[in-house]
Amino acid sequence: MRVYNFSAGPSMLPLEVIEEAGKNIADYNGSGMSVMEMSHRSKWYDAINTEALDLVRELMNLPDDYHVIMVQGGASTQFEAIPLNLLKTGKADYIVTGNFAKKAYKEAQKYGDIRLVASSEDKKFTYIPKTAREDFRQDASYVHITENNTIFGLKYNTLPDTGDVPLVADLSSCIMSEVIDPKKYSLIYAGAQKNLAPAGVTLVIVKEDMLGGELPICPTMLKYRTQIDANSLYNTPPCWSIYMMMLNLRHLKKLGGVKVMEQINREKAKMLYDFIDESDFYNNFVEKESRSLMNVPFVSPSDELNAKFVKEAEQAGLVSLKGHKLVGGMRASIYNAMPVEGVKALIEFMKKFELENK
């Protein structure tokens, strides 16, 4: 039996996508081989690679001067790849709105003059700090933000105004969950295991004018130009993850693309937040205008009840609802693949649990 899986990552994939992969698992397109076995230089894999890259470009409506590459190492490796590739002026500004943002800020410090412009750590990352254009150094190579904070459940609803300083954003937990204007960003990166694919592949979308200023110590494998020139085939890619991403993006396109997905995601998030707000049993601590569409942390009146909730929810087929260890309580990650019915089932369970434990 399939459960409703609220894991923050790796997370649910659409059942249709998993079944499609299953149908072809031992013999892909008459090749007599699984995608897991074939050469990444084969004509079959080449078609998968090209279609995956083209679908990212199409679904995100990327202008021609943006490159798309697929790399390994997760979003965490990008915390270092970004300064190594982009620190042309030796300076960069960071905004810290959660744990991953803090890690990105920390790693970057090895490579140049990195400034913390704003942080919401004073209030346990429950809000997006306000910034003005003057707060950023106009000679900074870029400003780094984490668009959706996976652990604490908050997101940017309005991007910071950085003036002429390029914006770099970690979209690991919100990529393709809502329509964005790619022209507002100079670099977007995302580990695929939340909204796009199984773990193993990371997307980097970078504007041409950001390149050319790599630090001399930048490893060949982390240099964006290496994979851009090789069409993401410089070395052996995570073929299976990329294949699954391709199938998932085909599925997203068939549904109507990111615009349709955004409507569904807004509907799911609204249902859950409305229920939490109307209840005097459950609570969410994030300021309303910065609530995440993807990760919804909440608590019941006590730690004991939280533990009981997680356990009983699991028995009811609602799994991985335990909050991150930094936050406690519960967290429902409701990424693209979580159906509306899954959120409805969660709310029904929450009602029942409240009645039984009030």
Residues that bind ligand PLP (CB under 6 A): 9, 74-76, 100, 146, 150, 170, 172-173, 191
The residue among 265 and 300 lying less far from ligand PLP, judged by its C-beta, is: 265
The residue among 49 and 177 lying less far from ligand PLP, judged by its C-beta, is: 177
The residue among 198 and 342 lying less far from ligand PLP, judged by its C-beta, is: 198
Shortest separation between residue 146's beta carbon and ligand PLP, angstroms: 5
The residue among 74 and 237 lying less far from ligand PLP, judged by its C-beta, is: 74
Shortest separation between residue 78's beta carbon and ligand PLP, angstroms: 8
Shortest separation between residue 129's beta carbon and ligand PLP, angstroms: 17
The residue among 142 and 282 lying less far from ligand PLP, judged by its C-beta, is: 142
Shortest separation between residue 216's beta carbon and ligand PLP, angstroms: 25
Shortest separation between residue 74's beta carbon and ligand PLP, angstroms: 3
The residue among 105 and 309 lying less far from ligand PLP, judged by its C-beta, is: 105
The residue among 42 and 109 lying less far from ligand PLP, judged by its C-beta, is: 109
Shortest separation between residue 202's beta carbon and ligand PLP, angstroms: 6
The residue among 85 and 173 lying less far from ligand PLP, judged by its C-beta, is: 173
Q: Is 233 left (phi over 0), alpha (psi -120 to 50) or beta?
A: alpha
Shortest separation between residue 189's beta carbon and ligand PLP, angstroms: 9
Shortest separation between residue 147's beta carbon and ligand PLP, angstroms: 8
Q: Which residues, other chains included, contact 75 with Cβ-Cβ below 8 Å and sequence gap of 6+?
A: 100, 170, 172, 189, 190, 191, 202
